Structure formats: structure tokens, C-alpha cells
Chain A
Amino acid sequence: MNHAPLAAAFVADAPRAKWHDETLWFVRAKRDKAAQSVPEWEELRECAAQIKAHTVSRLADYLEQFEREATRRGAVVHWARNAAEHNEIVLKLLSDRGVKRLVKSKSMLTEECHLNPFLERHGIEVVDTDLGERIVQLAGESPSHIVLPAIHKKKEDVGQIFHEHLGTTAGATDPNYLTEAARQHLREKFVQAEAGLTGVNFAIAETGGFVVCTNEGNADLGVSLPTLHIASMGIEKLVPRAQDLGVFLRLLARSATGQPITTYSSHFHGPRPGGELHIVLVDNGRSDILASDEFRRSLNCIRCGACMNTCPVYRRSGGHSYQTSVPGPIGSILAPSRNPKMFYSLPQACSLCGSCSDVCPVKIDLHHQLLTWRRELAHQGLLSRSKRLGMQAMSFVFRRPALYRLAGRVARWLTPLLPRFMIYNGLNAWGKQRELPDFPAKSFGEQYAERRRHESQRNS
């Protein structure tokens, strides 16, 4: 997979790409307003980063404490080394109880594990209940954003999808009407479901419970009707103390959508009377990331999506071009950790503008890590041929000052004389979608030398 051609396909529809860009920027602007309304914002970020750094430094202890406390409250804790184990555990829980219908609420982890197709192959109906996720599920796609899963769809698209699957009026595009249709459709699914699965935003070692944040209330509805609740969580979701939630809940929604808090922040501790609660702790590569001084901080991520909303590359290339369950800046760090061969192109897309690191509520140094990845991937020999050859040629020229000066002179003289097609063609990625600036008459080196000459004349 390669990010650039997929992004090119997205950008080919120029008005849509522009709309995508502006919509996400709008969300980013809301985040700014929300962040500025909290005077101690920077202090909160610092606390969040410190809490996370501390937690991962003692992760095994905290996981054991979590397991102990959760078990004490009547939950059953399962451990999965990888996606396959996670899926098997979930399947077994369902099939042991004869469950045929499962409602799910936003869990990027189950996306990461490709749980839906797995369960469907085993004859279980899986319904994603977050409206955005339901839209992409009906469309046969995956979420293109971790907080706004259907951000790439226009209301006309949703109208068409709902017309085909839910029988709404053809051509209807009113969000109120479409949401009402989804409400009725999903209520039916909630009532029929025999089990509910949720993700986990934060798990608390001290109490053995966990918090799920939604605006729609779908997680709550999904787990309060059936008796079986399964919660899937990555092992990095832990915080040590309940009071730590004060820091993270203040940061999460403001960073994600600019809201002061999500509509529902639900704290689950043990099964409800007469029910069952199963928690699946998933590693899937996370303990490996722990080992690396460079990338460890990527485990701090609370999946707010702010880095995507602000990223000039994400906004213009669409989440699907990343081909990974978590796209954008943080996805471009996490994906190569899992599979460098497959995702080598993601860190190359970064413009190193640093905006992601500025907005990240848990202070992940995203753009530094992306730069580190580039070095690392080059080191592993995973650059594309064109990039490798280009860099080799450049290094050859840069090491020979005379050749460098000669090449510059030739280029300044020759380029303005060349016909357009010789400059703006497939070989020149920099000329795509933009005009190159005019070449200056003199190189920087020449101007510098001239200036030095003038100055020494003036001073003498």
C-alpha cells in the first residue's frame, strides 16, 4: 500500500477534497475555542502526560491491580496477545450463550482486530450503533476518522445509503430526517440484540472499572438491555486512580469536538444485577512499542482525533488513504510499528509542520516521532525506489560543492527556457497542484558572497 496514490485519488475530486478540508478545520477551530476557555489547559496537558508516563512505567503492576479489582467486582477479565485471540475470545463468549445478534458501540480496537467480518463469518449479526459507524457499515466501508467515522460522506451520500438500506425517501438529505430514520432502525436493533460490546476510553486500576464516552448514548443503550456486556480495551487505556479521570475527561471532548464534555461519560464497575461483564485486555503489539524510547509516548494517545483535524495532509487526503484503523499523524506512527513494510509510506506524507504536536492533549511529540520513523525506515531500506534514487543523487551532488554550484547555475539558466511539460510532469512531485516559484537570477551563495563583498568595502 502506498499513501500518495490513494491520496491523489481523493484529491482528484477537487470540490469534495476542499469541503473535507474545511469541515475538519471547522472542528479544529472549535477545539481551539474550547481549549482557550480553560485557563489551566497547559497544566492539564502536562498532568495528562505525566500520568501516562507513570502508568506505562508500571504497566504490568497496574494491569494486575485492575484485574484484581475488576474480578472482585464480578467482572471476568480475559487477556489477548493479538487480534486473533481477541476475536476468538469474543466469539466464544457469544457462541457459548447462543448469541446471534450483537450491538457494538464505537470501538477502534475492534476495527483494528477486524472483529466484524470475523463474527459475520461465524453467522453473527454485528450492528455498529454509532450513527457515523452505522453509515459506513451500511456503505461497506471502514471509518475514515476515529471520532467522526463518516466525515468523508456528504449528506447526499447518506441519503442514498439510507434510501437503499432503510427505505428512506429517495433524494432526502435533511440530517434531522435521516437521523430520525436511523434512530428508529437502530432502536429495533438495540431491542433485538442479545449482547452489547463497547470499547473503553479509560480504565481505572484503583477500582477495576472503566469509562466509555459517547454523545449518542449508544454504548449505554447497547449494554443496558441485554444481559451480556463485553468491553474490549487496549492495555494502554489504564489510568492509576479514579481522580485521574478529572484530567482526561476535561481534555478529551474539548480536543475532539470542542464540547466541554461528551453527553454521556459512563463509569462501569462490575456487571449489573443479573448480568455478565467481560473485559478483554488486548496487547496486539502495544508491549513492543513500550520498549522503544522513541515511540513509547505514542501509547499516551487518548484517541481524540485532534491531530487528524489539524493535519494539513490528513484534511486533504482523506482518512481512507491511510489504509489503517487509526489514520492521520498518530496512525502514521502506530501503523509502521505494527508493520513497517506495509506502512512505510505513511511517515513520508508528513509536512513536519508540527501542528499535531501542538494540539495533542497528552503532549505526544508527534512530528518528532514521524521524523524518527523516516530515519528508521530509510535505515531498514524501506524507502521507495524513486525516493532512494533521488536521495542518493542528492547526496552525491551535495558532497561536491563545485558540482552543486554548477548544477544550480545550469538549472537557473535552463529551467525558464524549458517547455512546461518538461517541468510539470510525473517526475516532479513538487509541481503537482502548485506552480513552482520563479528561479532567482542569482543563487543564495552568490548573493551572500556579493553582500560580504559590499560590507567589507563599506567597512574598509
Chain B
Amino acid sequence: MSRNEILKSIRAQRVPTAELPSLDRTWLRFADPLAQFESQLAGVGGRAVRVRSTDEIAPILNARPEFANANGIVSHVAGVAANCDLATIADPHELESVDWAIMPAEFGVAENGAAWVTDERIRHRAIYFIVQHLALVLPADQIVHNMHEAYARLSVGSSSLGVFISGPSKTADIEQSLVIGAHGPRSLTVFLVEPA
């Protein structure tokens, strides 16, 4: 009955009407959104790597010691080998020992270096947060200028989780010193696959 009381109490208040503004206008745009995305990502502690095809990703990762020596690897990107399959894991707690995940992202946002990912067709959403290192792969021509364009293109609520990820997990809670790697991934690499 709290519900009805709260609603009743809200309806009893006389609040002046106000229009909902239209957001359909021209917002910030960039001459080179891809370059802007890369520099924003670098600014938040991430790393952007341009590749011509997804085949180039595995060699680049293999050259990194923290990848070559990784325990568990999850990959949802063709061409990058994995040794752990999310679909066969019943309990997400088991992902604790996974070091790397290479996952597709739908698109990026130039103004803040964020990439949009969802848990659609992904059995355990924890994968984005529990691994030590995260790599996202997205087509280089899928960079929108700003957040308004981002919401115009994505369908909010189509999956139970959708996240803008911008850089690795970080904190500045101890005397405002920036530390990378709070609870989630210690690094974020975004592979931008250039159109063929």
C-alpha cells in the first residue's frame, strides 16, 4: 500500500507543467571521429590499435607477454583462439581464473572513447568485468560522434545488460592518485578493424 500512498502523495502536489524538450538538434561533431575516438581512449588509459582484418589481432596479442602467458582466454572473435568456452561454464564464479577476454563491440563514441557492448548471446556477462585484460573489437567505420547519436542507433533494453566501456577499470580514491586496475580489467585494448 506504500505504492498507492506514494503515488497519491505525488499526485496531490501541484507541480507546474513543463514541456519535454526535443533533443533533435545538431550536437558536437568531429572532423575525424576515428582519430578523436583514439585520442579519447588513450586519455582514459585505454589503447586503440587499427588493424586491416581480424586476422591481425592474434599475432598482435601474442606479442604481449601478459597474453602469451595467460591462463584462461575467452574469445568471441573469429581468428583469435581461446581455451575457455563461456557456453560450457555453468557458474560465472569459475571465470575468476580467466585472464583475457576478446569480445566484439557494436560501435564506439568519438566524444568520450566509449565502446558499446551487451550480453546478448553471451552466457555470462561477468566476462567483461572479471578478467584481468579485456580486448574489444569493432569496425572502424562504426564510430558515432556523440552520445546523442549513440542513443539514436542503439536499442536500449533489447538485452538485459548493455554497457558503455571507456578504458580499463580505475580508481582515484586514495589521495586522487589515478590507479589503473581497481576491480575489473587492468587494461583495455580496442581493435579497430578498417573496412576492407
Contacts and interface: CB of A to CB of B under 8 A. Distances in A.
Interface residues of B, number: 75
A154 interface: yes
Contact of A221 (B18, B129, B146, B161): B129
A250 B132 CA distance: 28
Contacts of B11: 60
A291 B114 contact: no
Interface stretch (A125-133, A379-387, A395-403): A125-133
B183 A221 contact: yes
A63 interface: yes
A4 interface: no
B170 A263 contact: yes
A245 B151 contact: yes
B72 interface: no
Interface stretch (A202-210, A332-340, A366-374, A406-414): A202-210
A80 interface: yes
B83 interface: no
Given A47-B21, A264-B163, A291-B14, A216 B44 contact: no
A263 B162 contact: no
B88 interface: no
Contact of A209 (B109, B157, B174): B157
A175 B179 contact: yes
Given A209-B157, A216-B184, A154 B175 contact: yes
A283 interface: yes
Contact of A270 (B109, B160, B179, B182): B160
Contacts of A191: 93, 96
Nearest to B123: A273
A215 to B, nearest CB: 5
Q: How large is the interface on A (under 10, 10 to 19, 20 to 34, 35 or more residues)?
A: 35 or more
Given A179-B182, A224-B126, A246-B150, A60 B7 contact: yes
B128 interface: yes
A319 interface: no
B147 interface: yes
Interface in B142-170: 146-148, 150-152, 156-170
A186 interface: yes
B68 interface: no
A266 B19 contact: no
A23 interface: yes
B53 interface: no
Most buried by A among B10, B43, B167: B10
B174 A183 contact: no
B171 A179 contact: yes
B99 interface: no
A190 interface: yes
Nearest to A38: B28
A375 interface: no
Contact of B92 (A50, A58, A224): A224
B173 A130 contact: yes
A228 interface: no
Given A79-B6, A225-B92, A242-B157, A57 B152 contact: no
Contacts of B87: none
A263 B92 contact: no
B20 A51 contact: yes
A176 B6 contact: no
B176 interface: yes
B10 A63 contact: yes
Contacts of A302: none
Contact of B18 (A26, A40, A54, A291): A54
A64 interface: yes
Contact of B159 (A59, A249, A269): A269
Given A54-B18, A204-B156, 17 more contacts: A79-B2, A79-B3, A131-B174, A131-B182, A132-B171, A148-B173, A183-B182, A187-B183, A207-B156, A216-B169, A217-B185, A221-B183, A243-B148, A246-B146, A266-B162, A267-B163, A268-B160
5 contacts: A79-B3, A207-B157, A217-B129, A225-B92, A242-B151
Q: Which 9 A-B residue pairings sit nearest by Cβ, starting from the closest?
A: A217-B184, A260-B112, A132-B173, A216-B182, A224-B126, A207-B157, A242-B156, A53-B18, A79-B3
Interface of B: 2-3, 5-7, 9-21, 23, 25, 27-28, 40, 43-44, 92-93, 96, 109, 111-114, 119, 123-126, 128-130, 146-148, 150-152, 156-177, 179, 181-185
Interface of A: 23, 26-27, 38-40, 43, 46-47, 50-51, 53-54, 56-60, 63-64, 73, 79-81, 85, 129-132, 135, 148-151, 153-155, 158, 175-176, 178-180, 182-183, 186-187, 190-191, 204, 207-209, 215-218, 220-221, 224-225, 235, 240-247, 249-250, 257, 259-273, 281, 283, 287-288, 290-291, 296
